[in-house]
Amino acid sequence: MSTPHANFTLPTILCCICGTSMHTNPTNMCASCLHDRIDVTAEINKKLTIHSCRSCGRFLGPPWQEVDLESKELLVMCLRKINGLNKVKLIDAAWIWTEPHSMRLKIKLTVQKDIGSGAYLQQSTIAEFVIRNQQCKHCEASYATGAWHAIVQVRQRVTHKRTFFYLEQLMLKHEAHKECVKIVVSCSFDMLLYGFISLFLSRYLRLFVTVSTSISRRRTKHCALLTS
């Protein structure tokens, strides 16, 4: 036995704008007229700027983060910079491929918004980011004189340098070199000097060295080894 609503269909009316035959909806307008007369993406900022460091490739969130182009992390960073997304419902966001040298990032946004009377309109738009070069604090400190706040000295008086080479591979493997401002090799004293922005970051290097360590504090204006 069929139910009373089994064969129910929406009534057909004419669009109040163009007169096209359509199924009834709360706006009494067809989809074409809705898209022509209502723009739910009007309040979304589509021209934006994002800063990137030319030396290390980091992007300014803030803070400065090391992310790949057209990655998920960079997409989240860009979406946080778009004003007006909080006034609509974000349905989808995807990268649009651009030339790497164009200094442009494009994101296709699909949003949805209530236009009244329980009717929802979904539209797509493109947000374009212009990449501007700006030096990050880490690279700025690496080029400045005396920008370091902590120095780690690693010494070993042996004829070979295998231990220093192994320490270098450990730092590269665990990406500890990214926090190091400057590295100086002193052959006359058989030691390596690592300059860090803060004392807290310098303690990561001590994780790779299993010998006794000592910390000394002194105020200095210049270090010839690190600035030479």
CATH at 156: 3.30.70
SS3 80: helix
Give residue-wise pLDDT tens across range 126-158.
999 999 999 888 777 666 665 566 777 777 777
Taking the CB of residue 46, how many other CB atoms lie within 10 A of it?
16
Q: Are residues 151 and 219 in the same domain?
A: yes
Q: Are residues 47 and 30 in the same domain?
A: no
- The secondary structure element, H or E, covering residue 142 is helix 137-143
Angle at 63 between CA 59 and CA 69, to 5 degrees: 20
In a domain, 116, yes or no: yes
Which one, of 58, 132, 127, lies nearest residue 96 by Cα? Answer: 127
Of the residues 85, 105, 133, the one at which a domain ends: 133
For 26, counting Cβ atoms within 10 Å of its Cβ (0-12 exposed, 13-18 middle, 19+ buried), the class is: exposed
In a domain, 100, yes or no: yes
In a domain, 172, yes or no: yes
Give residue-wise pLDDT tens across range 97-137.
999 889 999 999 999 998 876 778 899 999 999 999 998 88
**Total domain count for the chain?**
3
Q: Are residues 34 and 67 in the same domain?
A: no
Q: Are residues 59 and 98 in the same domain?
A: yes
Q: Which of 22-31, 175-184, 196-205 has the highest mean pLDDT?
A: 22-31
Q: Are residues 27 and 101 in the same domain?
A: no
Q: Which residue has the higher pLDDT, 37 or 129?
A: 129
In a domain, 139, yes or no: no
Predicted pLDDT of residue 29:
81
Q: Are residues 28 and 87 in the same domain?
A: no
Instruction: Give me the domain span that covers residue 128.
Output: 40-133
In a domain, 140, yes or no: no
Give residue-wise pLDDT tens across range 214-227.
555 554 444 433 43
Of the residues 78, 106, 133, the one at which a domain ends: 133
For 49, counting Cβ atoms within 10 Å of its Cβ (0-12 exposed, 13-18 middle, 19+ buried), the class is: exposed
What is the layout of strands, in order, in the sheet containing 119-133? Answer: 64-65, 59-60, 47-52, 119-133, 104-116, 89-96
In a domain, 149, yes or no: yes
Q: Are residues 55 and 124 in the same domain?
A: yes
11 to each of 14, 15, 22, 24, how far by Cα in Å? 10, 13, 8, 6
* pTM (two decimals): 0.64
Can you tell me the distance from the alpha carbon of 186 to that of 193, in angstroms, rounded to the nearest whole number? 8
Predicted pLDDT of residue 82:
95
Q: Are residues 174 and 220 in the same domain?
A: yes
User: What is the C-alpha R_g of the chain?
Assistant: 30
Of the residues 81, 101, 133, the one at which a domain ends: 133
In a domain, 74, yes or no: yes
Q: Are residues 45 and 30 in the same domain?
A: no
* CATH assignment at residue 104: 3.10.450
Q: Are residues 85 and 66 in the same domain?
A: yes
Q: Are residues 31 and 49 in the same domain?
A: no
In a domain, 4, yes or no: no
